[in-house]
Structure 1
Amino acid sequence: MGNHDVLLLLDLPNDILELILLSLHSPLWIIWAASTRRPVVVCTYYNRQGSLRPRFEPSPSAATIAARHFSLDFVPARSDECGWAIKDSRGSLLLLYSEEPKSWRRELIVCEPLTRRHVVIPPPNPPVFYRSAIAVLLAADDEHGGGIGMSSFRVLLCSEEGCHIRACMFTSGSLYWREKSIPTPPKILPIGFAEGRRYWHFGEKTTTVVALDQSTLKFSSFVLPGDNKDRRKVILTIGCDGEVRIVVDGHGNILKSFARQKGAGGQGAEEWVLEKTIHVSAAMLGLPPQLKFFDLTWDQPEDAGMVQIRGYHGGASKILMRFHLDMETMEAHCLPVPSSDVDYRISAYPLEFSWPLRFRACTDNNT
């Protein structure tokens, strides 16, 4: 089927299109044929010389989809100085924000390019700087696996303001934000996100961790056992059991992995225990002996039980290697050297078609 035929099919009257769809053997045929994605690409930094409107970059498998279904020309027009920037995407929805530096005007919208609909989200009180805040799209019933759409979404805003972390939640159809906050020291560092929770850490001799449940907007805090004053990085990974691990990178090529102890603590408290200590060395990993120093990288793999580590000489030598380390088997897999022409300012936001519940139910079987 060529591009012209696809356009004719999309322009058919609804009653004729319904007859065609009813004649198919299974609704799965529609999903398999059309469930392609187009990543939405927007520069992290504004391109002052060009258009400030985010653009869609088609994937090769979506070349036959009409481009008009992915345009953002339906969102409210903004001045050339600010424009719209993409903050997050989920399902068929995009979360866009705009901030005018002169007037301090800030706007946040949720839109669906396929149906060309958008909703303006009222600002929380006091307002939040959208550019620096964490902003996430969630399904309205995320805990029970509910779908997300223009009538069933939530927006989470999370910002570090002074000596506290502030979290705000907006639900579609409402007019106000729910808000929670927790006091923290001025110097608090983000760890990341895993299994529905966001983590931060602080402390000099000990490591105190603050966690936020994105769905319930509930904060909790705990102290990692032991002396972690020499920590350099703290990252998250998922163990082979599917549970979150906090990995601390310390001096002397030492990695400490902490796991949450089930059933420990009382009255909502949680306790984490030291699960494993790893002394990373070139001999242990079967790597060149010139590699003397090892540390965790900020970008970590999604594979269970894996962490990404950088090994280097530390002197005039330019030997530098990156590899994945299986924390269960201690097996290392070297990674190719990243290309120097990679543009790290580009972020991709996946966008999916919004399928009716009847179609989504069909994917659970082979009817």
Structure 2
Amino acid sequence: MAPPAPYIVDEILEEIFIRLPTPAALARASTASPRFRRIITERPFLRRIRALHPPPLLGFAVDKRAFHHAQEPHPSAPLARALADGADFSYSFVPVPQPQPNQELLSPWYHRDIRDGRVLLGRRFGKDDPSPVFRELVVCDPLHRRYVLLPPFPDDLAHWVEHQVYNPFKPFLLPVAEEETEETAFRIIWMAHCRTKLAAFVFSSSTGKWQEATKSGPTGLVLDRGDSAILSRIHPHFLMRHYAYGCFYWDWLVTGSRKLLMLDTRRMEFSFADLPPGEWSKRVAIVEAGEGRPGIFGFHGEIASDLSYAIAQNTGESPNQWQMLKTISLDPGYIYSIDAATGRYLLLVRTVASSLGNLVENSLVEYFSMDAKMLQLQRVCTKQCSLMYNGTHIYADFPPSLLSSRAI
């Protein structure tokens, strides 16, 4: 009897792999042979896996290049340890561009965003640079030590933001589009607050160019005087960005405004969404609640003790009606805050509170994750810190995508 055709064997193996219980088991299988790894890393198979298993939360990174991986007893700890041991989160493989003559020495690379196993790094220009608005950007894969240097922002688009006011938005990565045929493809959005307008520009690795992102061109969203004034006062560390089902959200609670700024990446259109009823304090976080509906986590009151969770009643458009799903009681005697969110995961920070409700100096800082499906706190790691981090980015993906080591 003739042996089965190779493609039939591959199909049988794929059906076996899809039945493995966890992403960690799949990761171990991918190391068994080149053939296993090829099958497991093919895009159609990854789509099936991600539909069954959300990418595991492996850790988080902060602005100044520090990376903290999930530790025991977190369920992702074994895979997170393997990532931390094998990856280079110091980014020593990324070249350091030399400053131009008479230009102030450039700052180190900082985290701007993390998505799909890719890390977006940015570098601040010196104060004497003629275009301080724009940053040098590089997309890299710390596990395989690959990188792509992005081209500078083109002059034909730069003139649209010559009159930009203080900009609280950071450049960020878009999720890998389903229609992308290349696994290495990626897109980046850069937003600008131009007085009474909000503009967005997108870079595509497929074209190697920056272009206008919004259908209405660089005019983007027209802001009234109040919204524009709010944006001019918000520091980048306080304007949190979240992603759920093709849309990015920014909360404006830090200014007392009950609004969510929303960018639909499928239509590249801006809009505003309403918060659920009630008084929401400090930060909120948008997650994927399931069935295409975004969910929202947040606290009520100055001392956070109960975490509220609501889900949108509508799908596929700007959420305008919310259903309060659950209130989760947290341990008293601590200060809780929302640090980051991505996909189904929320990252909470817990610190010891004094009798006056203030943060105790040099206390232990505990990081917890929460899955929007399970609604259970799981400790990610514990650190001794005297100062809270800003600009936290969750690293959650399996497996990391592979980038070519080149400059565009």
TM range (shorter): 0.5 to 0.7
- Distance of 2:63 and 2:318 partners within structure 1: 41
Letter in 2 for 1:227: G
* Cα offsets for 1:187-213 (capped at 9, x unmatched): 356342123432223478872222112
CA gap 1:206/1:272 in 2 versus in 1, 3 angstroms: farther
Is the contact made by 1:208 and 1:223 (CA closer than 8 Å) also made in structure 2? yes
- Contact kept in structure 2, 1:194 and 1:244, CA below 8 Å: no
In the alignment, which residue of structure 2 is the partner of 1:81?
A: 105
Change (3 A) 1:336 1:82: closer
Matched, 1:144 2:179: yes
Partner residue of 2:275? 224
Mapped to 1, the partners of 2:288 and 2:387 lie a distance apart of 27
For 1:102, the equivalent position in structure 2 comes to 128
Corresponding position of 2:298: 248
**CA separation in 2, counterparts of 1:231 and 1:334?**
23
Verify: 1:135 aligned to 2:159, yes or no. Answer: no
Q: Which moved more, 1:129-138 or 1:162-171?
A: 129-138
> Cα 1:276–1:348, aligned 2, differ >3 Å: closer, same or farther?
closer
Secondary structure of 1:315's match? Answer: coil
Return the offset for 1:249: 0.9
Q: CA deviation at 1:161?
A: 4.9
Q: Which has the larger radius of gyration?
A: 1
Query: SS where residue 104 of structure 1 aligns?
Result: coil
Of 141, 148, 152, which aligns to 1:120?
A: 152
Quote the offset at 1:157 in angstroms: 0.6
**Separation in 2 of the partners of 1:312 and 1:169?**
42
Over 3 Å counting, the alpha-carbon distance change for 1:163 and 1:143 in structure 2 is farther
- Tell me the equivalent position of 1:213: 264
Look up the match of 1:310.
350
- The SS at the match of 1:100 is coil
- Tell me the alpha carbon deviations over residues 79-121 of structure 1, each in whole angstroms, 9 at most, x when there is no partner: 4433574545777786644523124334555667858876333
CA contact (8 A) 2:340 2:394 kept: no
Task: Work out whether 1:155 is the aligned partner of 2:188.
Answer: yes
Q: 1:261 aligns with which of 313, 322, 326?
A: 313
Q: Distance in 2 between matches of 1:349 and 1:334?
A: 14
Q: Report if the CA contact (8 A) 1:191-1:236 is conserved.
A: no
1:234 paired to 2:288: no
TM-score by length of 2: 0.52
1:250 Cα deviation (Å)?
A: 0.8
CA drift at 1:353: 3.6
Give the corresponding residue for 1:339: 384
Cα 1:133–1:44 change in 2 (3 A) is farther
Rounded to whole Å, the distance in 2 between the matches of 1:237 and 1:153 is 22
Identify the match of residue 320 of structure 2 among 271, 276, 279.
271
Q: Which has the higher helix share?
A: 2
Structure 1 residues 97 and 147, CA gap change in structure 2 (3 angstroms): farther
Task: Supply the distance in 1 between the matched residues of 2:124 and 2:349 (Cα, whole angstroms).
Answer: 37
For the Cα contact (< 8 Å) 1:158–1:165, is it kept in 2?
yes
CA contact 1:247–1:257 (8 Å) conserved in 2: yes
- Whole-angstrom distance in 1 between the partners of 2:248 and 2:292: 16
CA deviation vs aligned residue, 1:37-85 (integer Å, no higher than 9, x gap): xx9998479xxxxxxxxxxxx964369xxx99x3515x56444433574
Q: Is the contact made by 1:208 and 1:224 (CA closer than 8 Å) also made in structure 2?
A: yes
Residue type at the aligned position of 2:277: G
Ranked by relative contact order (alpha carbons within 8 Å, sequence separation 6 or more), the top structure is 2
Check conservation: 1:83, 1:98, Cα contact below 8 A.
yes
Distance, in Å, in 2 between the alignment partners of 1:135 and 1:334 is 29
Unaligned 5+ segments in structure 2 are 1-32, 41-59, 67-82, 141-145, 232-237
Deviation at 1:223, TM superposition (A): 1.8
Q: Residue 121 of structure 1: SS of its match in structure 2?
A: coil
Aligned match for 1:200, one of 239, 242, 250 = 250
Structure 1 length normalisation: TM-score? Answer: 0.57
Is residue 206–residue 227 contact of structure 1 (8 Å, CA) maintained in 2? Answer: no
| Alpha carbons of structure 1 residues 76 and 201: separation in structure 2 relative to 1, 3 Å | same
SS in 2 for 1:99: coil
Cα pair 1:44 1:346 within 8 Å, conserved: no
Please state whether the residue corresponding to 1:298 is helix, strand or coil. Answer: strand
TM-aligned CA distance change 1:80 to 1:159, over 3 Å: same
Q: Offset at 1:273?
A: 0.9
Per the TM alignment, residue 292 of structure 1 is displaced from its structure 2 partner at its CA by 4.8
Which residue of structure 1 aligns with residue 338 of structure 2?
Answer: 298
Superimposed CA distance per residue, residues 161-180 of structure 1 (whole angstroms, 9 cap, x where no aligned partner): 55554322244354643432
**Greater fraction of residues in strand:** 1
Task: Give, as a single letter, the amino acid of the residue that structure 2 aligns with 1:233.
Answer: R
Tell me how large the CA RMSD over aligned residues is.
Answer: 5.2
The SS at the match of 2:106 is coil
Q: Kindly provide the amino acid, as one letter, of the partner of residue 272 in structure 2.
A: S
Give the match for residue 7 of structure 2: none
* Structure 1 gap ranges (5+): 1-24, 33-38, 46-57, 283-290, 356-367
Alpha-carbon distance between aligned partners in 1 of 2:193 and 2:34, rounded to the nearest angstrom: 50
SS in 2 for 1:193: strand
- Provide the C-alpha distance between the structure 1 equivalents of 2:320 and 2:188, rounded to a whole number of angstroms: 29
Are the structure 2 counterparts of residues 76 and 132 from structure 1 closer, same or farther at C-alpha, using a change threshold of 3 Å? Answer: farther
Task: Map 1:29-40; keep pairs closer than 5 Å.
Answer: none
2:230 corresponds to 1:187: yes
What letter matches 2:325 in structure 1?
Answer: K
CA distance in 1, matches of 2:87, 2:384: 27
User: Alpha-carbon deviation of 1:262?
Assistant: 2.4
